[in-house]
Structure 1
Amino acid sequence: MARINVLAEDVELDAPFLIEGLPGVGLVGKIAADHIVEAFDMIHYANVHCEGIPPVVTYPEDDSRLSTPVRIYADAERDLLVLQSDVPVSPAAATEFADCVAGWFEEEAVTPLYLSGRPAEKEAAPPALYGIATGEGGTHLDRAGIDAPSEMGLVTGPTGALLSHALENDRTAVGLVVESDPQFPDPEASRALITHGIEPITDVDIPTDTLVDRADEIQRAKEQLAMRMQDIEEESTEARPLRMYQ
């Protein structure tokens, strides 16, 4: 049965922001989410049991306890949640996954920040970032000074399904889209997400020095997941422009 199984009932949160870290283009969301969980030593708050998640289990280093590959971590002091995923969610079951997760977000008064990479060639300039929103999400983008898209586009995969669910049900959600490497893990794009998107929206200072310093290590660690995602026939999460006349 689809559900979110809360493990840390004693953690008190007050309408928190949730950072979604599903794997996608450049693994930008996953890298950002993993970094934030580690930087704040966040508490393993809940396990996610939803359609679209492969029937596998994960175990951490130096710990024999098992958990689902998609988990939620919490930081009560910063009123912050992070959805961390060690596996790609099947695009074929994206709608069912979105219904499961977003339903819990609504019950817990969570404001989700959905993260997506937009394939782009690497340049010397920092990767561009823009925001999209549903419900009252636009107020968060305005307050943070995040630009709107410069061209028409769409978000696909599980993150697109989550945004679609928010739009259909008139719920507040924020989407952050960053230019990222179309083939390889992109820690620099993840840093841009954190510095120019997540930090100003959540009003939480997130150290990112180690994220850049460990770029090579992160790339090696994530390449295996990136290769698994390339094997998925259907599209995974990404944002891309819609050029109507080409």
Structure 2
Amino acid sequence: MARISVLDDDVSLSEPTLVEGFPGVGLVGKIATDHLIDAHEMTHYANVHCDGLPPVAVYRESDAAATTPVRLYADPENDLVALRSDVPVKPGAATEVAACLGSWFDEVDLFPVFLSGLAREKDESPPDLYGIATGDGGEALARAEVTDPPESGLVSGPTGAMLAAALEAGRDAVGLVVESDPQFPDPEAARRLILDGIDPIAGVDTSTDGLVDQATEIREAKQQLAEQMRQANEDSSRAEPLKMFQ
């Protein structure tokens, strides 16, 4: 089974930007997309049913409705879609999930923005942000003034699989790579992703005050998922330096 089950047919999208938020290093993608959904009061638009996703049901506090662990949220006014994931994707399933989502990307004519953390120990300087692209995605990076990577590297996990699928299909897409805390959830890195990557690429304006003011609460709320990711770090979407003879 591989399908996207749309819940709200009244949502109208025209060549939207999609922001992907699978858990990874520092949980930066998940923190960023969760914040976008809340800040823009995005509508629960669709449930994702893809082979390879864990066969589990998710429920929320004070809400009896069960839903899928991976969902899509939409903001028609800003032509924005966010992929929210409450679970990691196993390495062997990443290709299946990427193919499932990629076919829907083409159907809806989405421009995907993939998010990944690059493990770096924290210091006083702001985390660096870099961009990579497939197809004509480099044009979006240039408009947003996102810099090129300073070193060779690779992106793994479900995010890497989706970038690989976009490359193979010739699909326009970008990947944003931000330096992130390798041990703990990193709201500061997620804020950099939003302000200097997602917002200028998608043409939106997102208040990030909550990411700064509530950084401690966010870290505590995400800590359990971060621990799960560390125990099985091969599940993570992550960027890492490419060690090779050059």
TM-score range, shorter chain: over 0.9
Question: 5 Å matches for 1:183-222?
Answer: 183-222=183-222
Contact 2:89 2:235 in 1 (8 A): no
Q: How far apart are 1:232 and its partner, in Å?
A: 2.1
Partner of 1:41: 41
Partner of 2:12: 12
Q: How far apart are 1:234 and its partner, in Å?
A: 2.9
Partner of 1:25: 25
TM-superposition CA deviations, 1:49-105 (whole Å, max 9, x none)? 112211111112221111101000000000000000011111210000000011101
Q: Secondary structure at the match of 1:200?
A: helix
Question: 5 Å matches for 1:61-76?
Answer: 61-76=61-76
TM-score, normalised relative to structure 1? 0.98
Partner of 1:117: 117
Partner of 2:133: 133
TM-superposition CA deviations, 1:17-74 (whole Å, max 9, x none)? 0000000000000000000101111100000011221111111222111110100000
CA RMSD of aligned residues (A): 1.1
Q: Secondary structure at the match of 2:147?
A: coil
Amino acid at match of 2:191: R
Amino acid at match of 1:45: Y
Equivalent pairs, count: 246
Q: Separation in 1 of the partners of 2:233 and 2:116?
A: 19
Q: Secondary structure at the match of 1:89?
A: coil
Amino acid at match of 1:215: A
Amino acid at match of 1:113: V
Partner of 2:100: 100
Q: Separation in 2 of the partners of 1:12 and 1:58?
A: 26
Amino acid at match of 2:6: V
Identity of aligned residues (%): 61
Q: How far apart are 1:245 and its partner, in Å?
A: 4.2
If each structure's strand is expressed as a fraction of its own residues, which one has the higher value? Answer: 2
Partner of 2:77: 77
Partner of 1:154: 154
Contact 1:52 1:91 in 2 (8 A): no
Q: Separation in 2 of the partners of 1:70 and 1:90?
A: 14
Unaligned runs of 5+ in 2: none
Q: Separation in 2 of the partners of 1:12 and 1:235?
A: 34
